Structure 1
């Protein structure tokens, strides 16, 4: 028989109450208590078996878990929305380097030449100085890396390593990429700051202070070279893994991605840390997609060889097929799509379990999108129309700076791979041709085709930029309402899917386990915080807002 002297306790938890630990100084005392539920233990095997087979009680709290399940299932859609939006932002910033920057560089050089020939006292504005410096960094980095970055030598040197060494290389290059992105953003900000660019004037005398722009320029060039070299080794390692005959290295690469889940899901996260992880995933998704596209294009050129026929005006190999059993396109893109799908699944699982264990609702990703849209709307030329005198020197989108997107190193990487691929196509197609006027006509066709492609990318950049600004402007209407709704994801939020009885039980259990009587007397060593700040949980310190965070703002360990 079961007697109920009061309200029922939490059904799926033990009925015995939790009593606090007695003080250390007092002897152990056994306090009498009156339990809320008294269970008559079975005294025989038959009574025990009857209780097991004929029990009719049911845990009603299980119905509350549906919110957890629904949130878990809605995370893939929520994370893909912001990842696709962030991918478009990175693509827009990447196209800016190859489309808008050359035009701005030409305008800046024309204005500089005009002022020199006319001997006018009008100097260049800071924005045009930044365009010239950024273009010079690109040109110098490519010129330095062309003799050093031999793709064939790097490929065979990595391919000759053991599997275990390649696993170490993958992880070392990933860490080096993040470290370079972090320090590189600071170096470029120092070079393109207003105070540094104002020193670039012929009216100033040469001194140690005026040589600061030269120092930052050299430092930025070295950073771009180093980061582009790291990205080149990453791309080559990825190419080695994809081209492995037994797919052992490819399996190793995919398993290395799933290690991300182990390092993320069983940790305490707040939504500001989740925002930084989301920014890192956006940049990683774009960088990986760009590298995989470069690997697929290079393998397509190498496997086609002399099958490229330019006489009919179609720049495709003759054996190009569509998803047939042994076609070239299937051979090349099968491992590429495998890596992409594994990256997508890893992102889904990682964010789904992080939000589940930390009781964060999917609405937080809408707030993340609002932050990126706010940067996009205020950092663009249209958003700064009323404050033109105080516009940013860096004409790349402000949102790319928040994401930690390395636009310059990626541009150098693509320029290197593109030049090597063009040389490979030119050499393979010219083997059957001797020196003749046909070669000159073919080169003219290549130049015209390149200019046509560049013009198409300019149009694509303008269309993407206009649509991004329009989308960001439309979202600003509901930002305040979404910010108010996102209060449920702030610090101190209620757990998801837990009833009142379960929360009371967990709170009492935590109070029992965290009893200060069991702690030693706190002492403060040299350089440590005082005990008053050590046990207050850090609540006196103001928590940063999402608008104040970037990818590399150190709030808490995020990797």
Structure 2
């Protein structure tokens, strides 16, 4: 190409030039992939959210039924044996159901004695902003560590080798007792961590100056800085997606509980102060007609919306910098669907049958374990929060303490002694009001029992609907999974960078030759962060490591020297 001989020639070339860089036309795929990430993200997170909800509802719907069956079987066997019949032993699945229910009941009982939400709330609220930032990070790390260790611990407790009888007919007691005590300690510790997370979120939402809520949102956006500027492969991205699914579900559950509790508290206080919003801040109020409801819901909606935006941006830039096509999220969904259909690793990766295998017991759905979802601690947390909310609903401490007590005239009848007897039992001073109080207690208890029964029946129906639709959807997607296997090849380690044409590749190759040194292994990585195809064949075993497919990846498996 001839160089301009004068300033006039250079100016004329700049003004009248018609050619432009043709590589710019190749960048449209990057833009479309970046824009399509929220759609793909919400598909996989929505599916994973429903899977987590299905696994979470199992604890409150199917497990009580299984516990009732196991308890009935235990009583029947003991009665038959006491009457001189043949002694029969419980199946391992029945022991699992009894132990799991005992684990939840004991954990909830102990937590109700050792945890005080009011003291925890004020202890967290009394900390400054810097300490609260440390608390946020410590609780997040503790949650992940507890979940990783708890999965192995609960699987060890609810396994055949722990609960099944030995070949000589003896029943092991020491090993199950030891694992049960360790599991109880784990569930208590993990639930305590989750409870502190919930209290910290509540403090952030109820802060008057919004400094704590701003800190919470800033911590969410710190995730972008800690993720997008690092090398990612599809296995790491799968682990990060699993973590975001579980985080979205836990955050939704906690924020719903916080919103319900604050709404009940505000509703009770508003009735006594004529339309005020009570102790909650009014900085989020926009529409005066919805003052109370908006004050409670607006911070919750802001936190959830910020979580969604952070996830979209994080995954969009990760896929952009690492040249990963968004269709890889469809492969992630295929992995979760395979777990729902096959329901067990014993079938192997080469299994092509769509039949659902019956595992020894549904200790925790396989897909939930792959996601890293801890259902038992969350169930204990929900029970603890529900007990507190019910206590707020049953609170009748709004009587007038300044009013003089009513003392009716004394009457000496035959029923007067009976009335005094019931009054002594119920702790009432007035024998006549004791009967009315007893009737009120009976009616109120019956109303609560009926409400609880209707709620449980509704949850059972919801669990059945979710379960059947999940299995149906997963079976249909599993049957067509081979049609999408090409997407995994497009996102292989030696994939070509997106938006780079032939001329740009040749230019990059020339640049690589200029800076290439035989002793420098770093030059084997392409300019766009991709592995050089020639080096891929030599170091494939070294680079790939023990993971050969997404089917072998779970939430807490070590991938590329890091767990996301």
TM-score interval, normalised by the smaller of the two chains: 0.7 to 0.9
Q: 1:471 to 1:302 in 2, by over 3 A?
A: same
Aligned partners of 1:461 and 1:430: how far apart in 2?
39
Q: Displacement, 1:144?
A: 1.3
Aligned partners of 1:482 and 1:540: how far apart in 2?
21
Equivalent residue runs for 1:318-467 within 5 Å: 325-379=289-343, 388=358, 391-428=359-396, 431=399, 436=437, 437-467=439-469
SS in 1 for 2:143: helix
Aligned partners of 1:378 and 1:252: how far apart in 2?
43
Q: Displacement, 1:217?
A: 0.6
CA RMSD of aligned residues (A): 2.7
Q: 1:385 to 1:201 in 2, by over 3 A?
A: farther
- The aligned residue for residue 112 of structure 1 is 74
Aligned partners of 1:445 and 1:65: how far apart in 2?
64
Aligned partners of 1:155 and 1:273: how far apart in 2?
36
Partners of 1:187 and 1:220 within 8 A in 2: yes
Q: Displacement, 1:279?
A: 0.6
Q: 1:363 to 1:284 in 2, by over 3 A?
A: same
Q: Displacement, 1:483?
A: 1.1
2:122 matches 1:160? no
Q: Identify the match of residue 97 of structure 1 among 26, 41, 59.
A: 59
Q: Displacement, 1:474?
A: 1.0
Partners of 1:323 and 1:329 within 8 A in 2: no
2:537 matches 1:543? no
Q: Displacement, 1:123?
A: 1.6
Q: Identify the match of residue 164 of structure 2 among 188, 191, 198.
A: 198
1:254-310 CA-to-partner distances (Å, cap 9, x unmatched) read: 11101111111111111111111111110000000000000001101111126789x
- The aligned residue for residue 277 of structure 1 is 240
Q: Which has the higher helix share?
A: 2
Q: 1:411 to 1:503 in 2, by over 3 A?
A: same
Moved more, 482-491 or 538-547: 538-547
Q: Displacement, 1:340?
A: 0.3
2:113 matches 1:147? yes
Partners of 1:192 and 1:394 within 8 A in 2: no
2:249 matches 1:286? yes
Partners of 1:177 and 1:231 within 8 A in 2: yes
Aligned partners of 1:262 and 1:322: how far apart in 2?
32
Q: Identify the match of residue 78 of structure 1 among 11, 23, 40.
A: 40
Q: Identify the match of residue 137 of structure 2 among 171, 181, 184.
A: 171
Aligned partners of 2:327 and 2:397: how far apart in 1?
54
Aligned partners of 1:421 and 1:379: how far apart in 2?
37
Q: 1:541 to 1:280 in 2, by over 3 A?
A: closer
Partners of 1:306 and 1:428 within 8 A in 2: no
Q: 1:203 to 1:242 in 2, by over 3 A?
A: same
Q: Displacement, 1:501?
A: 1.4
Q: Displacement, 1:205?
A: 6.5
Q: Identify the match of residue 121 of structure 1 among 69, 87, 93.
A: 87
Q: Displacement, 1:178?
A: 0.6
Alignment coverage as a number of residue pairs: 491
Q: Displacement, 1:339?
A: 0.3
Partners of 1:96 and 1:396 within 8 A in 2: no
SS in 2 for 1:177: helix
TM-score of the superposition, structure 1-length normalised? 0.82
Q: 1:518 to 1:550 in 2, by over 3 A?
A: closer
Q: Identify the match of residue 236 of structure 1 among 184, 191, 199.
A: 199
Q: Displacement, 1:425?
A: 1.3
Gaps of 5+ in 2: 273-284, 345-352, 402-432, 523-534
Partners of 2:328 and 2:487 within 8 A in 1: no
SS in 2 for 1:516: coil
Aligned partners of 2:552 and 2:361: how far apart in 1?
20
1:223-282 CA-to-partner distances (Å, cap 9, x unmatched) read: 000000000000000000000011111111011101111111111111111111111110
- The aligned residue for residue 559 of structure 2 is 555
Partners of 1:180 and 1:223 within 8 A in 2: yes
Partners of 2:342 and 2:354 within 8 A in 1: yes
Q: Displacement, 1:510?
A: 3.3
Q: Displacement, 1:502?
A: 1.1
- The aligned residue for residue 260 of structure 1 is 223
Q: Displacement, 1:367?
A: 0.8
Aligned partners of 1:324 and 1:395: how far apart in 2?
49
Q: Displacement, 1:344?
A: 0.4
Partners of 1:306 and 1:429 within 8 A in 2: no
Q: Identify the match of residue 497 of structure 1 among 496, 499, 502.
A: 499
Aligned partners of 1:351 and 1:231: how far apart in 2?
26
SS in 1 for 2:362: coil
Q: 1:386 to 1:243 in 2, by over 3 A?
A: closer
SS in 1 for 2:496: coil
Aligned partners of 2:252 and 2:264: how far apart in 1?
18
